[in-house]
Amino acid sequence: MYEITAVTLKKSKIYNTKAGRFSYKTAPLPYYSFGIINEALSAKQTILMACPEKALCDKIIMTPGVLLRSISQTLDFLVNDLRIDEDQLSTLDTEKIATWIPDAPKNSSLKIFIKALQSL
């Protein structure tokens, strides 16, 4: 079953439908507002979407049981569990992520995430 997750300031909720699972997960301010881009779908329609760096930070922060403690564990999580290509990971902006750390939940995991990206 596919799952689409959205981050919100409101209460977390899960909806199971025939099309798949839709979940809304709560993030605190000001962290919630970091890394949001305005993406045009058409001339009259735009959406707010997380940049790739923020999407991965959200995944790390909001996945229960994920506590990153080493570079090798982090790379294993990203490459083997999430199946993200290492070449794509190496393009992520670690300086941008570092600016979010003071206001982020699980900031020790995000610090290891940055070190893992820098090791590529």
Interval 12-46: pLDDT, tens: 999 999 999 999 999 999 999 999 999 999 999 99
DSSP string, 5-60: EEEESS--EEEEETTEEEEEEE--TTGGGTTEEEEEEETTEEEEEE-HHHHHHHHH
What pTM, to 2 d.p., does this model score? 0.90
Interval 41-71: pLDDT, tens: 999 999 999 999 999 999 999 999 999 999 9
The pLDDT confidence band at residue 2, using thresholds 50, 70 and 90, is confident
